[in-house]
Amino acid sequence: MKTKVIKAIEELRPYLQADGGDIELADVDEDKGVVRVRLKGACVGCPMAQSTLQLGVEKFLKKKIPEIKWVEAV
């Protein structure tokens, strides 16, 4: 599953970079279906970061990889 997550994040990355942000994979817990990511750049401290994480990143990753239960920032 980690390889799938890495590929999906690479697909997603240009959209975040277009707004000055970025994303980095921190961990994948395959047993629990949890993906942990680190938001970087303009995303750090942005009031919309939580929305981006839930409505953008999590939704995108779940669509690509149905075994993901949730995504959290570290």
Q: What pLDDT shows up at residue 45?
A: 87
Spans of all domains in the chain: 2-73
How far apart are the C-alpha atoms of 29 and 51, rounded to whole Å? Answer: 22
- What CATH number was assigned to the domain covering residues 2-73? 3.30.300.130
- Residue 13 in contact with residue 41, Cβ under 8 Å? no
Q: What is the mean pLDDT of each run of 10 residues along the chain (74 residues)?
A: 96 94 96 96 90 94 96 94
How far apart are the C-alpha atoms of 70 and 33, rounded to whole Å? Answer: 7
3-class DSSP state of 31: coil
